[in-house]
Amino acid sequence: MDPYFKTNRSLWNAWTSIHAESEFYDIEGFKEGKTSLNAIELEELGDVRDKSLLHLQCHFGLDTLSWARAGARVTGVDFSDKAIDLARSLSEETGLKARFICSNIYDLPDALIERFDIVFTSYGVLSWLPDLGRWARVVAHYLKPGGIFYLVEFHPVLYMLDEERGDSLKYPYFHTPEPLLFQEKGSYADPQSDFLHPSYFWTHSLGDVINSLISAGLVIQFVHEFPYSVYKCFTFMEEDEDGLWRLKGRSRSIPLMFSIKAVRASN
């Protein structure tokens, strides 16, 4: 395994245990019937009943199982074996039918032979991938003719911000082959947890994402940008009356999320 991926998989294996106990993921609430999906993806992707759906980078499957609860026939994929073990356990415990596969996205064609009506991925996924061209070709590979790809993700501009201050740019916008190295203190789901682990992170511009999908043969239906986040990514963000998170003093000046919907041509 690539040493960067090996390090990141170790991180996500450790995070799985932390996240399973966190209020952020609220597994008990999910078991009681709550969805982990946000209004944006529910509205923009629409009705998934009786559709086959492939969820890439699914972590331990709460969103995957939420799509199953919405009526989709779901398959979740993640490179963390600990996360996949937990996803399978949650599927069994809740009675929500799902298939979970442990695989690196780039190796998935060796592990899964099928086509889907929908390929879905969301929130904090792209920066763990070194090569968006290969990623987009995997996405296209798994779509049936006329199938839909939907992505909702944190905006590349958000990743440029100084995580301590928020009033200046610290990280690059454009992609470089070598990743950025971070020391993860705790987790985004539990910043106070006693945990320290390195991680490797790749930056990708919005143009990189769009052009990779076009080059893979997908037809872009829309690209939406949002001046807010559905999650509190930094301490310097403030919650508005709708429960969305914005930058203090600059609530509409910087894009914080984007979404893309694309289709595979029918011919």
Predicted confidence at residue 249, as pLDDT, reads: 77
Q: Are strands 116-122 and 52-56 parallel, antiparallel or unpaired?
A: parallel
Token duo for residue 217 = 């043969």
H-assigned helices in 113-246: 132-141, 206-215
Q: Which pLDDT band, with edges at 50, 70 and 90, does 66 fall under?
A: very high
Give buried/exposed letters for 117-138 (b at 16+ CB in 10 A, else e).
Answer: bbbbbbbebbbbbbebeebbbb
Q: Which domains does the chain have, with CATH numbers?
A: 3-264 (3.40.50.150)
Predicted confidence at residue 124, as pLDDT, reads: 97
Our measurement of the distance from residue 37's CA atom to the centroid of its chain's CA atoms, rounded to an integer in Å, reads 12
Q: Which pLDDT band, with edges at 50, 70 and 90, does 231 fall under?
A: very high
CA angle 235, 62, 121 (to 5 degrees): 75
Mean of the per-residue pLDDT values of the chain: 96
87-104 mean pLDDT: 98
Please report, rounded to a whole number, the percentage of residues in the chain having pLDDT higher than 90: 91
160-189 mean pLDDT: 92
Torsion angle, CA of 226/228/232/233, rounded to 10 degrees?
50
pLDDT digits (tens, 9 = 90+) for 127-139: 999 999 999 999 9
Predicted confidence at residue 163, as pLDDT, reads: 87
Q: Which pLDDT band, with edges at 50, 70 and 90, does 253 fall under?
A: confident
Please say if the pLDDT value at position 1 is more than 70: no
d(CA 256, CA 100): 30
Give residues with Cβ within 8 angstroms of 54, minimum separation 6. 74, 75, 77, 114, 116, 118, 119, 120, 142
Question: Do residues 158 and 123 make contact, with C-beta atoms less than 8 angstroms apart?
Answer: no
Instruction: Report if pTM > 0.85.
Output: yes
Q: Are strands 218-226 and 257-264 parallel, antiparallel or unpaired?
A: antiparallel
Predicted confidence at residue 251, as pLDDT, reads: 65
Please say if the pLDDT value at position 25 is more than 90: yes
